[in-house]
Amino acid sequence: MIRLLKQMKMQDRRMALLCILLVGGQVYLDLNLPDYTKEITTLVSMENSVLSAYFIAGGKMLACAFASAALSVIVGYYAAKIAADFSFDIREKVFDKVAAFGSGEIKKFSAASLITRTTNDITQIQMVIAMGLQVMVKAPIMAVWAVTKIVGTSWQLSVVTAGAVVLLITVIGVLMFLLLPKFRKVQKQVDDVNRVVRENLTGLRVVRAFNAEAYQEEKFEQANEALMKTQMFTMRGMAFLFPVMIFVQSGLTLAIYWIGAYLINGIAIPAAGTAEEIAAAVAARAAFLGDVVAFNSYALYVVMSFVLLMAIFMILPRAQVSAVRINEVLDADIAVREGDGAGEVKEKGTVEFCDVTFRYPDAAEDCLKHISFKANPGETVAFIGATGSGKSTLAGLAARLYDATEGKVLIDGADIRMYTFQELYDRMGYVPQKAVLFSDTIQNNVTFGSCGHAVTAEDVSRAGEIAQASEFVGKMEHGLESRIARGGSNVSGGQKQRLSIARAIARKPEILIFDDSFSALDYKTDRALREKIAAELKGTTCLIIAQRIGTIRHADKIIVLDNGEAVGIGTHEELMQTCPVYREIALSQLSQEELA
């Protein structure tokens, strides 16, 4: 928590200091009220008191009360503003850090957990700051100040008050010991609920298609019930404090007045004394009665301080856990870091793998082993292989979603790790295996992001024609201004892929990477798209990962992957003669006549 608070802006720190000073003034005004109560009590006990004295003391009490309320409103405003500003800054830092994560970091934390950390966890910190500046600061100041006010009044009353405080501290300590581990569990269980809900919403069609609603409901029930039980345990524990507080508060008041009455009764009024002696004894009793009334008020302030602290204790442990989780994200080491810049490069549009080996973090074995090839400018290099052979991993290395464990990946003759992200992705158009569209117009989806030049309307139109998207876009009511629903739910899988391809082509990149990006296209559209790419993008280097022989058979170079190794490199005709793995894949899809 302290590490996070150190990141607070200087302006907010100054406001926090102002809040502390205003809280001190508020406590000073509040602790003056028992003095005026004592004064009024003493006046009531005196026979010769005048009405104006009551008005003066009461007026002072009202002035203190109104001034304290005004300071409380000001402190509340500034505390809320500081908390909101701080949470805004931390949320922005967490979002920026997550945006810089690679696939490995995302898998390490999980998307559900990162969402919880960016929302719920930061909200917990915000609540602690907003309440802490009002309560956490006020409670100890009030307790210490109130104790200094009552010290020396009566040792008997002081002992009773100390006993009440010790009892409260003991109860709070025991509860914190029991509840703190549960608070740590709550945030993880919120992650679990978030994960189940996210899985259910993402896979809703599959769930319904397989009549798995009951199974998903049971999964949610288990995660939700675990969270509910933990929260019930913590809330019952915290709820136990309230009756304890009321018992201690009421018992302390009773004890103070009981002992006070005994002590007042101990001040004897001489039966045979002079009038002055009797008046002095009566005045002493009246004065001590005022002391007892004031002492009770101060003692209740001490107890109230612990009541206020209790409110913080209810959320502080959970906020501390949230702070640890946020720091885990901010401190996470990013595997793929931006380079300083490649400077002048000798080549243009080349991709070269130099003895590249890659292993995922914590994996038992290498995913890719000693891959070497070079894609020259304007060439089409295709990759094919069985599921799990490493095709998409290879595309990820070319797009620098990962860094090679061994060896080098060269873009335009320079190590890919030397490029800034802007330099690298200005050269590259990447179409992922899973087409991703955003909740926006088709125009904005195609022109999404930034590159080395402005994407014009002509670029969008040309990209749509090459990607075979113009036909279905033209049939939409608003054309390019038609809106895409969240997740692209109002277009088909093939349409999403074509728009994703158009987005990459519109950037006019040197290198295009298609990671199994034609899988949802029918054969006719697939062929038309490839012909357009060959005709319109002659100078563009293309890396194509595909499952269909028909998609890649006309590539300049085909690389066959098997268990992470390149078992064949050549043209379609060459591989049919020299590579058994490729020949087996080809014959499983096409007949001898079709292959001929």
Q: How many CA atoms lie within 13 A of 292 on its CB side?
A: 21
Band (pLDDT 50/70/90 cuts) for residue 500 is: very high
Average pLDDT value for residue range 234-241 = 80
Q: CB neighbours of 351 closer than 8 A, spacing ≥ 6?
A: 374, 375, 381, 398, 409, 410, 411, 511, 541, 543
pLDDT tens per residue, range 144-158: 887 777 776 777 888
pLDDT tens per residue, range 336-378: 888 888 778 888 889 999 999 998 877 788 889 999 999 999 9
Pure H helices in 368-484: 391-398, 421-426, 442-446, 457-466, 470-475
Band (pLDDT 50/70/90 cuts) for residue 594 is: low
pLDDT tens per residue, range 151-183: 767 778 888 888 888 888 888 788 878 877 787
List the beta bridge partners of residue 541: 511
List the beta bridge partners of residue 511: 428, 541
List the beta bridge partners of residue 351: 375, 411
H or E element in which residue 354 lies: strand 351-358
What domains can be seen in the chain, in order of their start residue?
2-180+239-330 (1.20.1560.10)
Whether 596 shows a pLDDT value over 70: the answer reads no
Q: What is the mean pLDDT of the chain?
A: 84
> What percent of the chain shows pLDDT beyond 90?
15
> What percent of the chain shows pLDDT beyond 70?
95
Pure H helices in 6-102: 10-45, 51-99
Q: Hey, is 353 helix, strand or coil?
A: strand
Among all chains, which residue has been given the structure tokens 């020949």?
Answer: 583
Per-residue pLDDT, 74? 92
**Dist CA 353 CA 62 (whole Å):** 81
**Dist CA 142 CA 301 (whole Å):** 7
Q: CB neighbours of 227 closer than 8 A, spacing ≥ 6?
A: 186, 189, 190, 192, 193
The pTM score is: 0.70
- Give just the sign of the alpha carbon dihedral 531, 537, 541, 543: negative
